[in-house]
């Protein structure tokens, strides 16, 4: 799986209509003549291409030679102690979504960047600041620096209205060759087993997209943004006709947070852990097919609990839209506006009932996030107390008490011994770890043997490590 970039979702025969009225919904019909087939995408491309940009990111990295860590080696061979630096660059695409100079792209395009530049279709370049990064969706929002003009933008479509078979156009900068336009069709919707980001719900297309397209635009034939291209499935590194885009309805949520000055995206919190319905479970509860999201646990006092959601309830729809699996529910729930309510249709004991869930954010107090620096198996791990917001972010059971690993330094001991993001530390050397201060205290003891109890993917594990 390679991450990538841009396409434009389009519908072939709406070209004439859409050039007259961009806001008109897509018209869908089969070409009736050779003249219909010869219709050109040029009017749409000319209108939307100026809003698709190139994104250049650069960061300084050290060429680390482990021999240079040894002062005797450096002195013997007369080598300097400071290790050489190298500029690492990446190239992607982006979409202008606000005339003031707001650009949306993929988070993986600018991740770790020290410098970001944006090049417009007219070849002008601007430095950009990172306004917001959202690793959960693999989206980031940039703002051009020092600009005093209005830029062309793309409006958002309602990506839930897209249909398999709609013609699509991809615009981006594949392999750095310059702005390129390709077309295809939407091959599938609601792809949930792609493994790119937390919200597994992607538009699939056969429009040719390649490395360098990441962050580019997927537009429909009315010239509106239908999605942000993010990844391709490829065995060669080039396009093989399987590309994935983040739907515009999710992009809209991230951009709205950036416009409002937020540094993080605020989303509704359900307060329940969901699991997929397997064929065995479907047979047990009398379903014709393994579909829906099964409630595995409910957090006390959460929106789910207040709405009356219970253990073993099966969520089959949200606001009238079907729920195929937990990933589909997560996506649809995350795109709902805060402050209102959503209607869940739930199967309970063979009967369908409706529940009203308030749309509010999860409490996020008392994380007390720290990095473990003491020599121990945890050295290089960033850990935090489990809050409802963090449990939601990492898909944890918020009823579990303990300290969770939120990040790992690549060269740290914790990464080397096999700890993973999302591991919940319950005890160290038979001492309960209830908060980060407990773990910080536990690792100050010099030991040859470490006995650790943790929870990973819902399973409790006993680990013994040498100090």
Catalytic residues: 108, 138, 214
The answer to whether the CB of 65 falls within 8 A of the CB of 83 is yes
Q: Name residue 142's beta-bridge partners.
A: 103, 130
Locate tokens 């010099």: which residue? 446
- Residue 349 burial (CB count, 10 A): 8
Token pair of 102, please?
């707001």
**CA 406 from centre of chain:** 16
For the stretch 356-361, contacts whose Cβ atoms lie closer than 8 Å and that sit 24 or more positions apart, written own/partner, are: 356/307, 357/270, 357/303, 357/304, 357/307, 357/309, 358/303, 358/306, 358/307, 359/268, 359/303, 360/268, 360/269, 360/303, 361/266, 361/267, 361/268, 361/269, 361/389
Q: How far apart are CA 72 and CA 259, in angstroms?
A: 54
CA distance 223 to 49: 10
For residue 91, what is the DSSP state? Answer: E
For residue 357, give every residue at least 6 positions away whose Cβ sits within 8 Å of its Cβ, in sequence order, or none. 270, 303, 304, 307, 309, 341, 342, 343, 344
Strand partners, 167: 185
Alpha-carbon 405 to chain mean position: 19
Distance from C-alpha of 202 to C-alpha of 330, rounded to nearest angstrom: 12
d(CA 209, CA 170): 7
283 touches 385 (CB < 8 A): no
Q: For the purposes of burial, counting CB atoms within 10 Å of the CB of 149, is it exposed (0-12), middle (13-18) or buried (19 or more)?
A: exposed
**Residue pointed to by tokens 């600018």:** 110
- Which H or E element spans position 455? strand 449-456
In 102-238, beta strands by DSSP E: 102-106, 115-119, 125-134, 139-144, 167-172, 180-191, 202-205, 217-219, 225-232
In this structure, what are the phi and psi dihedrals at residue 260, rounded to the nearest 5 degrees? Answer: -85, 5
Residue 354 near residue 371 (C-beta atoms within 8 A): no
Q: Which residues contact 334 (CB under 8 A, 6 or more apart)?
A: 199, 250, 253, 267, 268
């Amino acid at each position: 799986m390679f991450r990538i970039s841009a396409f434009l979702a389009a519908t072939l025969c709406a070209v004439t209509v859409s050039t007259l009225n961009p806001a008109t919904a897509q018209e869908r019909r089969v070409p009736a003549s050779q003249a219909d087939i010869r219709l050109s995408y040029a009017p749409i491309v000319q209108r939307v291409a100026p809003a698709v940009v190139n994104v250049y990111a650069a960061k300084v990295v050290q060429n680390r030679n482990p021999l240079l860590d040894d002062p005797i080696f450096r002195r013997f061979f007369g080598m300097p102690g400071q290790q050489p630096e190298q500029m690492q660059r990446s190239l992607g695409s982006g979409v202008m979504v606000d005339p003031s100079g707001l650009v949306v792209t993929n988070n993986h395009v600018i991740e770790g960047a020290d410098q970001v530049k944006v090049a417009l279709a007219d070849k002008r370049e601007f430095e950009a600041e990172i306004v917001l990064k959202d690793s959960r969706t693999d989206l980031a929002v940039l703002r051009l620096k020092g600009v005093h003009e209005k830029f062309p933008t793309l409006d958002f479509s309602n990506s839930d209205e897209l249909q398999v078979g709609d013609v699509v156009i991809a615009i981006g900068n594949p392999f750095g060759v310059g702005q390129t336009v390709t077309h295809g069709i939407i091959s599938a919707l609601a792809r949930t087993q792609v493994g790119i980001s937390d919200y597994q719900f992607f538009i699939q297309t056969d429009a040719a997209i390649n490395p360098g397209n990441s962050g580019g635009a997927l537009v429909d034939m009315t010239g509106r943004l239908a999605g942000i291209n993010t990844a391709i499935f490829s065995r060669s590194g080039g396009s093989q006709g399987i590309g994935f885009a983040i739907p515009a309805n999710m992009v809209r949520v991230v951009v709205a947070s950036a416009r409002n000055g937020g540094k993080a995206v605020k989303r509704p919190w359900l307060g329940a852990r969901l699991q997929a319905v397997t064929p065995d479970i479907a047979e047990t509860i009398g379903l014709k097919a393994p579909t829906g999201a099964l409630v595995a646990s409910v957090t006390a006092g959460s929106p789910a609990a207040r709405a009356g959601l219970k253990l073993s309830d099966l969520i089959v729809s949200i606001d009238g839209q079907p729920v195929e699996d937990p990933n589909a529910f997560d996506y649809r729930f995350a795109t709902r506006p805060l402050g209102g309510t959503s209607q869940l249709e739930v199967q309970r004991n063979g009967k369908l009932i409706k529940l009203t869930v308030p749309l509010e954010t999860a409490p996020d107090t008392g994380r007390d996030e720290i990095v473990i620096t003491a020599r121990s198996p945890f050295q290089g791990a960033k850990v935090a107390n489990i809050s409802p917001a963090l449990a939601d972010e990492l898909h944890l059971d918020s009823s579990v008490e303990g300290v969770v690993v939120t990040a790992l330094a690549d060269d740290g001991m914790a990464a080397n011994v096999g700890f993973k993001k999302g591991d919940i530390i319950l005890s160290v050397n038979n001492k309960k770890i209830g908060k980060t201060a407990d773990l910080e205290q536990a690792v100050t003891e010099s030991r040859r043997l470490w006995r650790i109890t943790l929870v990973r993917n819902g399973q409790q594990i006993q680990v013994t490590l040498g100090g």
